[in-house]
Amino acid sequence: MKRVWLGLIIVIFFGLMSSCAGTRAIMQTAPSTPKKTQQARPEITASTQDQWGNQNTKVARQFQAHIYGDIPAIKGPARVDSIRPIAKDAFNNSANIFEWTMSTRGDIDPFTIVILMPANIVPGETPPIILTQNFCPNHNVIPIAGISKPKNSGFSCDSDGAMSDVFGYFFGRYIMTPPVEMIMNRGYALAVVYPPDFVADNAQTAAPQLARLSNKDNPAGAIMAWAWQASRIVDSLEKSGEFGDIIAYGHSRYGKSALVAAAFDPRIDGVIAHQSGTGGASLSRNKPGETIKLITEGYPHWFTPKYAEYGDDQSALPVDQHQLLALIAPRPIMLGNAKRDVWSDPEGAFHAAMGANPAYALYGSEGLTATKLTEFKPEDDIAFWMRPGTHGVVTEDWPAFLDFLDAHFK
């Protein structure tokens, strides 16, 4: 009798699990070898460089019109209003920490970013800097006294560590705080930013903020706005003269914004887009896991409303995500993935990388040379990383990110 009950419970459990698209995706795994049949469309046939690696092209405009909304209309660089030293020789003597308060033109609230400088750099040296957009507010990401709390937090990671433990349990050791000491010791500076403090990650609160930024018929969605915020930070990083190459890093929704930032801002020298999925590196056509319909129902404020019109027919979309990667050519991109993260779709990201190769070839770069999703070649200009496990930033991810950075920026 006991066995019958147990069997029944298992059947009900799996029945419930498979009734929802998200949990169904967790039960699947991405293949190690890509299927030959899935091809990136529309194919990249451009024969001149100026159509790729260039932001003023028809394709760049199509991405704005059909997916992300227009680049915010506010012109002019951002500025740093104040710099506050926070700590010296923190994280085991590896980092000097500062907080910058920044403002942009227009009726936009100032925001803060935290800068971590490797403590052991030689004066005059300009380390490459990794610009990280994060899920948790800055004071949680860098848990050091003195860092400002966000004004408009929609999402707290405080709760005396309880929330962060839960967060870490499900989404990996580095979901909140990256391995700062390891990053500093490898010679990279960090800029830490919490995008919802700029534009909220919530449809209602974001609407007036997005309208203020754009003043247009096709206002920026939150992903475009966060990408634009990254560009404004680049204004000030460049102006400071303290840093070398600038790499945009983001996980998941911020992997999407890191790619969009690099696609529209040629001053970003490289990208690490970890599990960026739908609206990020994975092709929209034939997408398993999260479809355009699901993402635009769940997160309507991330995109222009037009994107939802392709929910029932992705093939009508005039662009696909391999072309977003192509806009970044020939700059190095690392695409992070996990075998059990079919919601994001590693295979679709691999096909997007293959689809972007012709644009890289125009610059004499081979782009992606891996032939399997499990083949990590950090020196490739499109490096593909797939580890076992699920969605999150886990112990083995950052060493791989740093290997990619060392291969391109040392």
Smallest distance from ligand GCU to CB 298, Å: 6
Whole-number Å distance between alpha carbons of 236 and 244: 13
Which CB sits closer to ligand GCU, 290 or 381? Answer: 290
Residue 217: count other Cβ atoms within 10 Å of its Cβ: 8
Q: Which is closer to ligand GCU, CB of 235 or CB of 341?
A: 341
Beta carbon nearer to ligand GCU, 232 or 253:
253
Give how far the C-alpha of residue 194 lies from the chain's centroid of Cα atoms, to the nearest Å: 13
Our CB check for ligand GCU shows the closer of 231 and 278 to be 278
Q: How near is the Cβ of 186 to ligand GCU at its closest, in Å?
A: 26
CA distance 66 to 303: 9
- Using the Cα atoms of residue 22, residue 26, residue 32 and residue 36 in order, give the sign of their dihedral: negative
- CA-based end-to-end distance of the chain: 65
Take residue 383 and report the two structure tokens written for it: 């490096």
Which value, in Å, is the radius of gyration of the alpha carbons in the chain?
A: 21
Q: What is the amino acid identity at position 387?
A: R
CB of 290 to ligand GCU, least distance (A): 5
DSSP summary character for residue 149: P
Cα 163 to Cα 10: distance, rounded to the nearest angstrom: 29
Size of the site for ligand GCU (CB under 6 A): 7
State which residue, 129 or 292, has the beta carbon closest to ligand GCU: 292
What residues form DSSP beta bridges with 308? none
Chain positions 222 to 261 lying near ligand GCU, rule: CB under 6 A, are 252-253
Nearer to ligand GCU, 207 or 294 (CB): 294
Distances (CA, A) of 219 to 21, 256, 257, 301: 30, 18, 16, 10
Q: Which of residues 314-373 bind ligand GCU (CB under 6 A)?
A: none
**Minimum separation from the CB atom of position 19 to ligand GCU (A):** 17
Nearer to ligand GCU, 187 or 280 (CB): 280
Residues belonging to the chain: 410
Those residues with Cβ within 8 angstroms of residue 364's Cβ, 6 or more apart along the chain or in another chain: 330
CB of 152 to ligand GCU, least distance (A): 18
Of 34 and 277, the one with the shorter C-beta distance to ligand GCU is 277
* Interacting residues of 78 by C-beta distance below 8 A, sequence separation 6+: 102, 103, 104, 105, 232, 233, 235, 236
363-402 positions binding ligand GCU, by CB under 6 A: none
301 is an interface residue for ligand GCU by CB under 6 A: no
C-beta of 252: minimal distance to ligand GCU in Å? 3
Q: Which is nearer to ligand GCU, 23 or 371 (CB)?
A: 23
CB of 77 to ligand GCU, least distance (A): 29
In whole angstroms, the minimum distance from the beta carbon of 93 to ligand GCU comes to 33
Q: Which is nearer to ligand GCU, 197 or 290 (CB)?
A: 290
CB of 344 to ligand GCU, least distance (A): 6
Output 104 or 134, the one with its CB closest to ligand GCU.
Answer: 134
Residues numbered 260-299 forming contacts with ligand GCU, rule: CB under 6 A: 277-278, 290, 295, 298
| Identity of the residue numbered 20 | C
Joined tokens for residue 404: 């990619």
SS3 assignment, position 288: coil
Give the nearest distance from C-beta 8 to ligand GCU in angstroms. 31
| Cross-strand bridge partners of residue 192 | 114, 132
Residues 6+ apart with CB under 8 A from 278: 284, 287, 289, 290, 291, 292, 294, 295, 344, 345
Q: Least distance (Å) from ligand GCU to the CB of residue 325? A: 17
Which ranges of 105-221 does DSSP label H, i.e. alpha helix? 138-141, 162-171, 180-185, 203-214
Residues 67-96 that bind ligand GCU (CB under 6 A): none
Which residues would be at the binding site for ligand GCU (CB under 6 A)? 252-253, 277-278, 290, 295, 298
